[in-house]
Structure 1
Amino acid sequence: MNDTRVDLEWSDPARLVDTPRHVFVHDELRYAKGANQRDIEVDGFINYHWLTSPEDYGRPKVMLEAGINAPADVHGPDGARRPLIAVRSSPWKAGHETNPWHDEFDLDHGHVRYFGDHKPSTLGLPGATKGNRLLLEAARLHAGTTRQERLLAPPLLLFRSTTVHRDGRALVKGHVEFCGAAIIERLEHVVQRDPETGNSFPNIALDLAVVDGREIDGIDMRWIDDRRDPSLDAELAIRHAPDQWRRWVKDGRSAISGVRRRVLASAVKTPKEQQPLPGSVDAAVLSTLYNFYDGRKHAFELLASQVAGEVLRESGARYKEGWLSRSSGDGGVDFIGRIDMGSLAASTPVVVLGQAKCIQPSSTVSPEQVARVVARLRRGWIGVYVTTGSFSKQAQIEIIDDQYPVVLVAGGTLAATVRRMAQANYGGDLNALLQATIEQYADAIAYRRPEEVISM
Structure 2
Amino acid sequence: MTHSPGEKRAQLEAGINAVASVKAEGAAASRRPAICIRSSPWKAGSEHTPWHDVFDMDNGHVRYFGDHKASVSKAPGTTSGNAALLHAFEAHQGHTPEERSTATPLLMFRAVSRNGQPKGYVEFCGVGVIERAERLVQWSGREHATFVNYVYDIALIDLSAEDDQVSWDWIDSRRRTSVSDVQTLVTAPRAWQEWVKHGNSALPRLRRRVARARVTRVPEQRPAPGSPEAKDLELVYKYFDGRKHEFEAIASAVTAHILRGDGQSYVEGWLTRRSGDGGADFVGRLDLGRGLAGTSLVVLGQAKCVRPDSLVSAEQIARVVARLQRGWIGVYVTTGAYSVPAQTEMVEDQYPIVLVNGLDLARELRTLARDDHGGDLEACIEYLLKGRENAVTNRRPEEILLA
TM-score range (shorter-chain normalised) is 0.5 to 0.7
Which residues in structure 2 correspond to 1:417-428 (within 5 Å)? none
* Correspondence 1:74 to 2:22: yes
- Aligned-residue identity in percent: 44
The 2-side partners of 1:342 and 1:162 are apart by 37
Aligned to 1:52: 2
Q: Work out the number of aligned pairs and report it.
A: 240
CA deviations over 1:190-226 (Å, ceiling 9, x no partner): 1101121221100000000001002212322211111
Structure 2 counterpart SS, 1:144: coil
What is the letter of the counterpart of residue 8 of structure 2?
Answer: P
Aligned to 2:184: 237
CA spacing shift, 1:251–1:171, aligned 2, 3 Å: same
CA deviations over 1:179-198 (Å, ceiling 9, x no partner): 10000011110110112122
Structure 1: which 5+ runs fail to align? 1-50, 269-338, 354-374, 382-398, 407-450, 452-456
Aligned to 2:213: 266
Deviation at 1:404, TM superposition (A): 3.5
Contact 1:341–1:349 at 8 Å: present in 2 too? no
What is the letter of the counterpart of residue 67 of structure 1?
Answer: G
Deviation at 1:123, TM superposition (A): 1.1
CA deviations over 1:124-181 (Å, ceiling 9, x no partner): 321121111001100111011121111111000001112221xxxx334432110100
Aligned to 1:385: none
Aligned to 1:96: 46
Which one of the candidate residues 119, 124, 139 is aligned to 1:193?
139
What is the letter of the counterpart of residue 117 of structure 2?
Answer: L
Which residues in structure 2 correspond to 1:220-259 (within 5 Å)? 220-259=167-206
Aligned to 1:9: none
* Correspondence 1:351 to 2:297: no
CA spacing shift, 1:340–1:60, aligned 2, 3 Å: closer
CA spacing shift, 1:265–1:58, aligned 2, 3 Å: same
CA spacing shift, 1:341–1:140, aligned 2, 3 Å: same
Deviation at 1:351, TM superposition (A): 3.0
Aligned to 1:205: 151
Structure 1 counterpart SS, 2:160: coil
Aligned to 1:64: 12
CA deviations over 1:75-101 (Å, ceiling 9, x no partner): 212432100000011111111222110
Contact 1:78–1:234 at 8 Å: present in 2 too? no
What is the letter of the counterpart of residue 84 of structure 1?
Answer: A
Which one of the candidate residues 150, 168, 189 is aligned to 2:100?
150
The two structures have a TM-score, normalised by structure 1, of 0.49
Structure 2: which 5+ runs fail to align? 216-312, 332-346, 355-397, 399-403
The 2-side partners of 1:226 and 1:403 are apart by 49
Deviation at 1:379, TM superposition (A): 3.4
Contact 1:106–1:112 at 8 Å: present in 2 too? yes
Aligned to 1:437: none
The 1-side partners of 2:119 and 2:171 are apart by 25
Aligned to 1:358: none
Q: Which has the higher contact order (CA 8 A, sep 6+)?
A: 2
The two structures have a TM-score, normalised by structure 2, of 0.55
The 1-side partners of 2:121 and 2:190 are apart by 29
Structure 1 counterpart SS, 2:166: strand
Deviation at 1:267, TM superposition (A): 5.7
Contact 1:341–1:350 at 8 Å: present in 2 too? no
Structure 2 counterpart SS, 1:235: helix
Contact 1:126–1:203 at 8 Å: present in 2 too? yes
What is the letter of the counterpart of residue 129 of structure 1?
Answer: T
Contact 1:181–1:211 at 8 Å: present in 2 too? yes
Aligned to 2:121: 175
Contact 1:226–1:232 at 8 Å: present in 2 too? yes
